[in-house]
């Protein structure tokens, strides 16, 4: 935001806008353009100001304040330029007509979104995240953050901009901090500009490439294994667009709204000690289901015990009235659960998600 290409100054971009001034409404647009040029000059002046401070911390604070100031001024500028495009805005991009959603990473999460022209004309209705069930997300969503979820299903194209939440192509796991940063740094600028009547080019790319560290805890290791498909960052770009029809140059021109290469870090700690599983969510497991994999997902249960529980139900031919009855069951061949296995079964009531049977008979 601080140092875009000087050839694409905001004043120069506004100056190229050629609104229709043939009516009374047009005369008001001409006044808006004059105000927009003044605002653009203000932005260019702020851009040119050096970052101050004697220490790295002071310089960082100065830079952050400068960026925040420019973002606020950009919202003011987009409010002034939007009305200049009255009658010249295309219908908002939709999939297949100006909007492209890329594929999914490893068959799971969205990778790219490109909207060539977002407008407030016939914008499709977006939707909150409600994609098909995905086991990978269920695994990582076991991770907690102060009792709440660690991850959210983050849109590439925000639902308030017509983005769907029904397919994973437009969703990817973000920490709450990263999702908030995406809103603050990029999405809010785009939403404000579109709502004001501007034409906006917008693209978001999710960058992946994590590795999986090791943990002695099986649940944490499962989460780590799935986190290889959690993006490391989002890379965003947005621009205010002047279509050729209202450009004095006779060609489409753009000026940065969210500068190319803007990065939204999706930082996660993968130290085993930082994995909070308090309040962990787990799908209910029914011991009479006959599903070895589901039973083996219970904390402390290995596949050998899971198979033996399935065999116990098959051998008995009916349900068990209690966990004690299951733990003390004697198979028709004289076999029994080992002491360690009995201790594991006795721990099931404390897990909260284990049930003896799914239905009564």
Task: Encode pLDDT of 160-219 as tens digits.
Answer: 999 999 999 999 999 988 998 898 889 988 999 999 899 999 999 999 999 888 888 888
Give the pLDDT confidence score for residue 146 in this predicted structure.
66
Q: Which one has a higher pLDDT value, 5 or 339?
A: 339
Residues 9 and 149 placed together within one structural domain of the fold: no
* 242 in Cβ contact with 201 (< 8 Å): no
Domain residues for the domain of 50 are 1-86
**Can you tell me the distance from the alpha carbon of 11 to that of 15, in angstroms, rounded to the nearest whole number?**
6
Q: Would you say residue 291 has pLDDT above 80?
A: yes
* 85 in Cβ contact with 96 (< 8 Å): no
Query: HSE (CB half, 13 Å, CA atoms) of 96?
Result: 1
Task: Encode pLDDT of 185-198 as tens digits.
Answer: 899 889 999 998 99
Give the pLDDT confidence score for residue 97 in this predicted structure.
94
Residues 146 and 262 placed together within one structural domain of the fold: yes
- Is 311 a member of any domain? yes
Task: Encode pLDDT of 34-44 as tens digits.
Answer: 888 898 888 88
Residues 251 and 339 placed together within one structural domain of the fold: no
Residues 228 and 138 placed together within one structural domain of the fold: yes
Mean pLDDT, to the nearest integer, of 221-233?
95
Residues 316 and 254 placed together within one structural domain of the fold: no
Domain count, the chain: 3
Place of tokens 């529980």: 309
Cα Rg of the chain (Å, integer): 28
- Is 112 a member of any domain? yes
Residues 237 and 220 placed together within one structural domain of the fold: yes
Residues 175 and 324 placed together within one structural domain of the fold: no
Q: Could you tell me the pTM of the whole model?
A: 0.70
Residues 219 and 146 placed together within one structural domain of the fold: yes
Mean pLDDT, to the nearest integer, of 144-163?
87
Residue that is last in its domain, among 247, 274, 301: 274
* 109 in Cβ contact with 210 (< 8 Å): no
Residues 61 and 127 placed together within one structural domain of the fold: no
User: What DSSP string runs through 241-276?
Assistant: EE-GGGBTTSS-EEEEEEEEEEEEE------GGG-B
Alpha helices in the chain (DSSP H): 10-15, 24-48, 56-81, 135-140, 176-182, 188-195, 218-226, 292-296, 303-316, 323-327, 339-346
| Long-range contacts from 60-66, C-beta under 8 angstroms, 24+ separation | 63/2, 66/2
- Is 361 a member of any domain? no
**Can you tell me the distance from the alpha carbon of 75 to that of 193, in angstroms, rounded to the nearest whole number?**
7
- Burial annotation 28-67 (CB, 10 A radius, 16+ → b, else e): ebeebbeebbebbebbbebbeeeeeeeeeeeeeeeeeebe
Residue that is last in its domain, among 43, 64, 86: 86
DSSP 8-state class, residue 6: G
CATH of the domain at 270: 3.40.570.10
Residues 177 and 123 placed together within one structural domain of the fold: yes
Cβ burial of 216 (10 Å; 0-12, 13-18, 19+) is exposed
């Amino acid at each position: 935001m601080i140092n875009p290409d000087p050839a694409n100054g905001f004043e120069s971009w506004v100056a190229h806008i050629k609104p229709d001034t043939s009516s009374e409404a047009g005369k008001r647009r001409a006044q808006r353009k004059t105000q927009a040029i003044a605002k653009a000059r203000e932005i260019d002046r702020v851009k040119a100001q050096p970052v101050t401070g004697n220490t790295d911390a002071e310089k960082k604070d100065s830079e952050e304040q400068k960026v925040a100031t420019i973002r606020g001024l950009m919202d003011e500028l987009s409010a002034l330029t939007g009305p200049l495009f009255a009658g010249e805005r295309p219908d908002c991009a939709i999939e297949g007509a100006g909007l492209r959603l890329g594929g999914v990473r490893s068959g799971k999460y969205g990778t790219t979104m490109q909207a060539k022209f977002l407008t407030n004309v016939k914008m499709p209705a977006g939707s909150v995240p409600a994609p098909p069930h995905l086991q990978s997300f269920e695994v990582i969503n076991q991770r907690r953050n102060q009792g709440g979820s660690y991850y959210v299903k983050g849109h590439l194209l925000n639902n308030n901009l017509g983005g769907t939440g029904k397919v994973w192509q437009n969703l990817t796991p973000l920490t709450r901090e990263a999702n908030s940063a995406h809103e603050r740094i990029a999405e809010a600028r785009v939403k404000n500009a579109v709502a004001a009547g501007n034409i906006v080019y917008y693209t978001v790319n999710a960058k992946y490439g994590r590795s999986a560290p090791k943990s002695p805890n099986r649940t944490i290791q499962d989460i780590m294994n799935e986190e290889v498909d959690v993006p490391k960052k989002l890379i965003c770009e947005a621009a205010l667009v002047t279509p050729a029809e209202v450009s004095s140059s006779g060609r489409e021109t753009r000026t940065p709204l969210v500068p190319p290469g803007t990065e939204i870090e999706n930082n996660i700690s993968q130290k085993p000690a930082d994995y909070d599983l308090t309040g962990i969510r787990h799908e209910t497991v029914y011991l009479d289901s006959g599903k070895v994999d589901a039973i083996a997902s219970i904390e402390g249960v290995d596949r050998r015990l899971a198979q033996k529980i399935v065999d116990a139900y098959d051998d008995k031919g009916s349900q068990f009235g209690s966990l004690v009855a299951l733990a003390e069951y004697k198979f028709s061949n004289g076999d029994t659960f080992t002491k360690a296995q009995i201790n594991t079964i006795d721990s099931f009531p404390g897990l909260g998600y284990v049930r003896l049977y799914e239905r009564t008979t």
